[in-house]
Chains A and B, each alone.
Chain A
Amino acid sequence: MKTRSLLYVIMLATIVLASCAPAATAPAACTSDPAGCAKIPAGQTIRIGMGAPMTGDNAQFGIDISQGAKIAVTDAGNLQGWKFELVTQDDGGTGEGGAAVANKLVADPTVVAIEGHIFSGATAAAIPIYEKAMIPMLSPSATNPDLTKPDPKTGVVNKVFNRIPFTDAQQGKFAAQYLASKLNVKKLAILHDGQAYGKGLAEVVQSTFSSLGTVTSFDAITPAESDYTAVLSKVAANKPDAIFYGGYVAEAVVLVNELKQTGLTNTIFFGDDGTFGADFITRTGANGEGAYATALIAPSSPAKDKFDAAYLAAYGKPAGTLSPYTWNAYDAAAALISVVKAVAIKGDDGSLYVPRTAMVNGVRRLSNYQGISGVFTCDANGECNSSGPVFFMVQNGKWVEAPK
């Protein structure tokens, strides 16, 4: 009996002593941070995640943006010995893909921030997942206005999502005004692909244009089909001056190629930032002449020239040809990296600690950040827009800036 109770006392003492180990290795900022810290051990990289469509019809966007971001990562150098790394995951641009990628990235403890996602549908699905894990997002291209609006159930705006590009509310408004005033369009037919981005944009154009002219028809097409002649025939019955299409390049190409045979020969095709890019021109050829789309153009500066040269040298194509967001891609990555550099703390145990709430707040409070695409300041809802939409048209097989 006595030996057994002695054994118990010794075991208890060992446990108590063991728990009073040398002082906790995490810095004080981590214990006070409600969401904890990302811990990056020595020898590993600080990861910035990205969810983008890397394969399939819209791969040009994912490829272009990840390439622009990679240049920023290289330019960032290292932070007290830790290098940065861009981790790109293919989300296909869809909601299901976005959620799957978000879950994957959240499970990686060395991911400190997300550049993305790239498509609005995927972003909408991913935001709740990142909000729970308190990982900040800075998207170079997700333009749907609802992403920064309050949650209809809670009435509160999410804390983690921020974006640099203009919203579709602006794009739609400017597009409708451009159509009415610069292109003298009186009758506009609107088509969209039924998805978050395309439909949202089409609805904005519809509401703005209704006061400037007549909207002859508002129709949805089913994505991934090859024959839209029936819908186009219906649109042609009302003889519109122009067609506005909200959606991505895969369907836009099919529509443009079928305009002539459905009687819409002289109708202007007005796309959006999802239909811009080299792919549109290659797949429409002569049929695409005179089509419009939205893009961003970064103002000329030494920083832009340096980036353009680096992009061309690394990837063989000029920046801004595959998608409109190459400069935004660089800026988003560079901005995220600057916030990491500001809040990261090197712990006593040789690991790097990045407090998550500090990261989220740091990105949301970006102010007067000098990017290539402009100067941006994020507001309380996460809108950091640096520049407005610029319209481009296809002329002689190239995208050129449309007359202002």
Chain B
Amino acid sequence: MVGQPTNHEKSPCMSVSKNITLQSTLNAGRVIRVVLGVLVSAYLTWRLIDVIVIERTYGPDTWLKFAISGLILGGLYALIAIGYTLVYGILSMINFAHGEVMMLGCFGGYFVFEALNAIPAPSATDPKLNFLNAPPVLSVILAFLVGMSVSALAGYFLEKIAYRPLRIAPRLIPLISAIGSSIFLQNAGEVMFGPQRRSYTNPVLFSRGAGWTIDVAGNPVVITYTGVLTFILSIILMIGLYTLVQRTKLGRSMRAVAHDKRTAALMGIDVNDVISKTFIISGALAGAAGVMFGIHLGIVYYYVGFLPGIKAFTAAVFGGIGNIPGAMVGGLLLGSIESLGPAALNIDFQLKDVIAFAILILVLLFRPSGLLGQVLSEEKV
């Protein structure tokens, strides 16, 4: 990094002092960063010890509840973050419209449940049964299929219309197009579906809030059915995606295109096809996250994808953008920090986003490529 010093120097001696001044500035910066890091870590550790060991503000049952909230939300962030990471790896651009792709999947699942709810399927035991509850598992599977397909299609068309024509443009242009697509989809959602919030009608078997009650240190902790469904499904999808990327031919093509587009094309890979398929896969994952969001949290409206989209993007950067296990780890960690952070540090819950983003900044100060990210090669940068 000892290149041409461009900043002014105060020493009367010329080139030698220039290099020394630059080097010492860098060293000073490094020292400050280390000192800052040590101070902040010490403070955080002290607060953690204070809350957990000394004051015992919360019992183990409350910590378990925090952990459960955090992991479920983290799983959702992880799925959406994978979408961001996949697209970044292949195209080196951030797909800001990814949150809206999730929103569309959320609506897809909503309409499936509403439609099934309206179809009567009376049985011998229950004359008021409808199709939603007659085979509840099938209804849920159907909702997921439709939600994931809607999002996959949305991702495919997004790429085709908004990103492909700008493939050769400077890097800023597709970014602006992404932001524009995001705003377009939000407003299209508002016009199509109305501004009011809608509630997911879950099958009775999976109604929100119902779950197993376990006893922890004398207090009941509820583990909701929808929460378990969400978490397990997130893990399954993440494992599925990892297997796809590592073990299949398509995955190999994706990795090749991510590594070097031109050489991959020379090796006979249809780059456009691989890119489309990447968008379809990332869209499908976002759609699954959207349907889970609806089933577990119950709220769907045109703006529902905005905040999870931003958080998931943060999670992807946190774990190392372009790195798939990084996105998973980043998502789970971010969700956990949001839930456990305010309690562990005895800070107001209103500041949970502040805590999450502050930790992001701290991590990036010391590991700019993210937790699991490798230092990017020159070409990528």
Contact = CB atoms under 8 A, between A and B. Distances in A.
A63 to B, nearest CB: 11
B69, B73, B211 pick with most chain A CB within 10 angstroms: B69
A263 B57 CA distance: 17
B58 interface: yes
Nearest to B300: A226
B367 interface: no
A83 interface: no
Nearest to A55: B195
A55 B197 CA distance: 11
B304 interface: yes
B222 interface: yes
B80 to A, nearest CB: 14
B327 to A, nearest CB: 20
Contacts of B211: 261
A222, A233, A236, A258 pick with most chain B CB within 10 angstroms: A233
Interface string A71-85: 000000000000000
Nearest to B76: A227
A323 to B, nearest CB: 15
Contact of B338 (A57, A219, A221, A230): A230
A226 B297 contact: yes
A237 interface: yes
B136 interface: no
A194 B350 contact: yes
A227 B69 contact: yes
Interface string A162-196: 00000000000000000000000000000000100
Contact of A234 (B199, B222, B224, B349): B349
A258 B221 CA distance: 13
Given A57-B197, A227-B73, A229-B65, A257 B349 contact: no
Contacts of B349: 219-221, 230-231, 234
A59 B348 contact: no
Contacts of B309: none
A188 to B, nearest CB: 17
A262 interface: yes
Contact of A236 (B65, B297, B307): B65
Given A57-B197, A230-B338, A263 B348 contact: no
Contact of A260 (B70, B209, B227, B293): B209
Contacts of B125: none
Nearest to A284: B199
B-side interface size class: 35 or more
A56 to B, nearest CB: 5
B197 to A, nearest CB: 6
Contacts of B219: 263
Interface in B293-314: 293, 297-299, 303-304, 307
A54 to B, nearest CB: 10
A233 to B, nearest CB: 4
A222 B195 contact: no
B221 A263 contact: yes
B50 interface: no
A222 B220 contact: no
Interface string A287-319: 100000000000000000000000000000000
A233 B195 contact: no
A224 interface: yes
Interface string A195-239: 000000000000000000000000111101111011101101100
B343 interface: yes
A219 B221 CA distance: 22
Contact of A226 (B66, B304, B350): B304
Contacts of A57: 195-197
A99 interface: no
Nearest to A191: B349
Contacts of B220: 263
Nearest to A225: B307
A229 B211 CA distance: 15
A187 B298 CA distance: 30
B62 interface: yes
Given A220-B349, A221-B350, A237-B59, A258 B65 contact: no
A254 interface: yes
A59, A225, A229 pick with most chain B CB within 10 angstroms: A229
B352 interface: yes
A35 B69 CA distance: 58
A250 interface: yes
Contacts of A258: 209
A283 interface: yes
Nearest to B223: A261
Contacts of B307: 224-225
Given A221-B350, A261-B211, A263-B220, A230 B69 contact: yes
B222 A262 contact: yes
B222 A236 contact: no
B95 interface: no
A59 B58 contact: no
A277 to B, nearest CB: 13
Interface string A13-46: 0000000000000000000000000000000000
A287 B208 CA distance: 10
Nearest to A283: B199
Contacts of B62: 233-234, 236-237
B234 interface: no
B222 A230 contact: no
Question: Ordered nearest first, which 7 A-B pairs have the shortest CB separation?
Answer: A220-B350, A233-B65, A226-B297, A229-B69, A237-B62, A230-B339, A260-B209
6 contacts: A57-B197, A226-B298, A230-B342, A236-B65, A250-B197, A261-B209
Interface of B: 57-59, 61-62, 65-66, 68-70, 73, 195-197, 199, 208-209, 211, 219-222, 224, 227, 293, 297-299, 303-304, 307, 338-339, 342-343, 348-350, 352-353
